[in-house]
Amino acid sequence: MPPITAPVNAAQPERQPSVDALRRLVASDMEKVNRAILEYMQSPVALIPQLAGHIVASGGKRLRPMLTLATAGLCGYQGERHIGLAACVEFIHTATLLHDDVVDDSDLRRGRDTANAVWGNQASVLVGDFLFSRAFQLMIADGSLKVLKILSDASAIIAEGEVHQLVTTNDVETTEDAYLEVIRCKTAQLFAAAAQIGPVVAELPEADEFALEGFGRDLGVAFQLVDDVLDYTAEQAALGKTVGDDFREGKVTLPVILAYQAGSAEERAFWKRTVGDLDQHDGDLGEAQRLMARHGTLEASLERARGYAGAARHALRRFPANAHRAALEELTEFCVERAY
Amino acid sequence: MPPITAPVNAAQPERQPSVDALRRLVASDMEKVNRAILEYMQSPVALIPQLAGHIVASGGKRLRPMLTLATAGLCGYQGERHIGLAACVEFIHTATLLHDDVVDDSDLRRGRDTANAVWGNQASVLVGDFLFSRAFQLMIADGSLKVLKILSDASAIIAEGEVHQLVTTNDVETTEDAYLEVIRCKTAQLFAAAAQIGPVVAELPEADEFALEGFGRDLGVAFQLVDDVLDYTAEQAALGKTVGDDFREGKVTLPVILAYQAGSAEERAFWKRTVGDLDQHDGDLGEAQRLMARHGTLEASLERARGYAGAARHALRRFPANAHRAALEELTEFCVERAY
């Protein structure tokens, strides 16, 4: 019997987009970034590198610093400034994660293995503050007021977006516009800033900066839209968190907004009870998923994501068609296709 | 009967040090700082100015921005940069307060009217992040990498000090050295940075910067030492917080360290049970106060404070003997004498 040489889903084996090409392109730079991260999170206070190490190690894909490294490469940058600045970007992201995970009493009961579950809220807050301050120290050592402005503006906008999200929590009347504004701020702004740093250190004209800032922002919006869909669809292991977290926390994301808008009076009452009042019982998550399927809101959310990914891809067209551009283009596809 | 013209404690009616002279000297500048604070805490997300306004309004003495204004005056500075930078200093302080007040479950029960008690932990953390980012935006607008370095270094050191304090909580074996290091970082570093900004914007020689940085640091240590004493002695109304908070939270401050070191085996067991294990009963705070009185540890702590205040005063001697210097000298006395 001949060996099976082709995979089962052989129809489009090479068309499945991934981040592998991008990862390979920036691999040696990323190693330096990881060394910088380890070096700069040190402190005589041992709890700081312990707690920071926990979150940095579990931080996953390093997507944001990868954007800084890749756009620097795309812009033909030959120096070393992008290494430290990519570490800054990851520190700001990590500080945000730590502060995001500081939850009120009700959420602690789920007993997730977040830093605050292990070391307590206060340690998470304070180590986040340390990483945030350290990021600014690194930027100041870099010495560019322009980079400082980009990343401090991003930090303020992220915080604004997070507070805005807090305000929309449990509000099923949140509009699609308000939701998009939240994710542009809380997620996409750091993607935008990370991608803008490449052309800034390469000292390219402002038009290139704008293009890559826009690329990062659209990519970030697509990324978050897909994340919010995955919260209702993913296999638990693939997601790395519990399916239905957003539902249980009463976060009003686009799949909920669209289902509420399209829903009957009875369905709206369901959303108000479960997401609005957090009065949830066994089977409610399943019912939420059924209502989303009925109105096609997950697919509609992915459709929006596909649009933003396309816009991001479009923004790359002014740059030379080299390996970096191809890998960034593939990233825009990956961001959406990972939902399937 | 002749009217009583002199107060009862007429012996030294003018020698009671206060911050009134200093407050008068910087009054018109402080008004501008308050306007800047109000302006820069605005955001389209309404919860941000609401929550920030709550803490900024209850922030009290504005001691730290006052240091920036006063040292700028002492150094003969004629411009306007000290206004925005004093606002930055207050924003950093306010962010720290917000994050300090994010407490674990056990502390929430006391139901103090802190921002986190009103709006929840997460809002406090995120608005703190916003104010912190806003401070950096303001500094970047000022454009001095030197000021940015001073205040970002201070921010990192404050966070380190706060984490260090968290680690020493409940540890009755904490040494006086470790305690002093904690308060040098968590409190005195921002006093030092605030005082250093004056000579920096006035473009005085580095020796003047060092002198005023040292002045601020020693003043800050004295201030915190007295604060830690007041936690065991003050009238509740005067303190603006509950007497015995540190005791109940298991904070190991100098009065406890000295009482533990001087204590009998039985007394040490008391400290281990109450502060170490937080196993506290009615009457324990009174017993703690009696043990401190027995070993004179509150007076000994104030003696240390007096030493640091003297060092701070000494650092001012290189500056012209004008109204600003006199007011800052009086501030060093006030910081200690407010304990009486």
pLDDT digits (tens, 9 = 90+) for B51-66: 988 887 775 789 999 9
What pLDDT does residue A77 have? 98
- Alpha-carbon gap, residue A119 to A115, rounded angstroms: 6
Are residues A125 and B102, on separate chains, in Cβ contact within 8 Å?
Answer: yes
Are residues B156 and A167, on separate chains, in Cβ contact within 8 Å?
Answer: no
Out of A48, A137, A143, closest to residue B152 by CB? A137
Out of A105, A140, A164, closest to residue B105 by CB? A105
- Alpha-carbon gap, residue A236 to A174, rounded angstroms: 27
Residue B269 near residue B180, CB atoms below 8 Å = no
Out of A47, A121, A148, closest to residue B102 by CB? A121
Q: If pLDDT is split at 50, 70 and 90, which confidence band does A102 have?
A: confident
DSSP B275: I
Are residues A163 and B104, on separate chains, in Cβ contact within 8 Å?
Answer: no
Listed as own residue / partner, the contacts of B312-320 with beta carbons closer than 8 Å and 24 or more positions apart are: B312/B214, B312/B215, B312/B216, B312/B218, B312/B219, B312/B222, B315/B211, B315/B212, B315/B214, B315/B215, B315/B218, B316/B74, B316/B211, B316/B215, B318/B207, B318/B208, B318/B211, B319/B74, B319/B75, B319/B208, B319/B211
What pLDDT does residue A104 have? 58
Residue B125 near residue B187, CB atoms below 8 Å = no
Distance from the Cα of B141 to chain A's closest Cα (Å) equals 8
Is a pLDDT exceeding 60 seen at residue B106? no
- Alpha-carbon gap, residue A218 to A308, rounded angstroms: 5
Distance from the Cα of A118 to chain B's closest Cα (Å) equals 12
Domain range annotation of chain A: 20-337
Which residue in chain A is spatially nearest to B144 when comparing CA positions?
A: A145
Are residues B99 and A125, on separate chains, in Cβ contact within 8 Å?
Answer: yes
Out of B43, B140, B153, closest to residue A160 by CB? B43
Which residue in chain A is spatially nearest to B131 when comparing CA positions?
A: A156
Which residue in chain A is spatially nearest to B40 when comparing CA positions?
A: A156
Is a pLDDT exceeding 70 seen at residue A275? yes
- Average pLDDT (B108-119) is 60
Distance from the Cα of A109 to chain B's closest Cα (Å) equals 12
Residue A59 near residue A94, CB atoms below 8 Å = yes
Residue B224 near residue B243, CB atoms below 8 Å = no
CATH code at A20-337 = 1.10.600.10
Is a pLDDT exceeding 50 seen at residue B283? yes
Structure tokens at A134: 């350290």
Task: Quickly tell me which residue has 């250190």 as its tokens.
Answer: A201
CA quadruple B31, B33, B36, B37: dihedral positive or negative? Answer: negative
What pLDDT does residue B243 have? 86
Are residues A102 and B121, on separate chains, in Cβ contact within 8 Å?
Answer: yes
Are residues A136 and B123, on separate chains, in Cβ contact within 8 Å?
Answer: no
Query: φ, ψ for residue A78 (rounded to 5)?
Result: -110, -10
Are residues A167 and B45, on separate chains, in Cβ contact within 8 Å?
Answer: yes
| Residues in A touching B105 (Cβ below 8 Å) | 105, 108
Structure tokens at A269: 């009452």
Q: If pLDDT is split at 50, 70 and 90, which confidence band does B6 have?
A: very low
ipTM (interface pTM) = 0.89
pLDDT digits (tens, 9 = 90+) for B198-213: 999 999 999 999 999 9
Q: What percent of chain A has pLDDT over 90?
A: 81
The B-side interface with A (CB below 8 A) comprises 43-48, 95-96, 99, 102-105, 108, 120-123, 125-127, 129-130, 132-134, 136-137, 140, 143, 145, 148-149, 152-153, 155-156, 158-160, 162-164, 166-167
Structure tokens at B71: 């040292």
- Alpha-carbon gap, residue B101 to B317, rounded angstroms: 38
Is a pLDDT exceeding 90 seen at residue B297? yes
Are residues A140 and B149, on separate chains, in Cβ contact within 8 Å?
Answer: yes
Mean pLDDT of chain A: 90
| Residues in A touching B52 (Cβ below 8 Å) | none
Q: Which of B43, B45, B50 to mutate to test the interface with A (most CBs of A within 10 A)?
A: B45
What pLDDT does residue A239 have? 54
Q: If pLDDT is split at 50, 70 and 90, which confidence band does B95 have?
A: very high
Structure tokens at A105: 């009493």
Q: Which of A122, A142, A153 to mutate to test the interface with B (most CBs of B within 10 A)?
A: A122
Contacts of B216 (CB under 8 A, 6+ apart): B67, B71, B188, B191, B192, B193, B194, B195, B196, B312
| Residues in A touching B190 (Cβ below 8 Å) | none
What pLDDT does residue A4 have? 40
Contacts of B320 (CB under 8 A, 6+ apart): none
Is a pLDDT exceeding 50 seen at residue A1? no
A vs B, Cβ pairs < 8 A, gives: 136
- Alpha-carbon gap, residue B92 to B151, rounded angstroms: 9
Q: Which of A50, A121, A134 to mutate to test the interface with B (most CBs of B within 10 A)?
A: A121
pLDDT digits (tens, 9 = 90+) for B11-33: 445 568 999 999 999 999 999 99
Is a pLDDT exceeding 80 seen at residue A10? no
Structure tokens at A268: 């709206």
Are residues B163 and A127, on separate chains, in Cβ contact within 8 Å?
Answer: yes
Q: Which of B48, B108, B122 to mutate to test the interface with A (most CBs of A within 10 A)?
A: B122
Distance from the Cα of B116 to chain A's closest Cα (Å) equals 10
Q: If pLDDT is split at 50, 70 and 90, which confidence band does B115 have?
A: confident
Is a pLDDT exceeding 90 seen at residue A30? yes
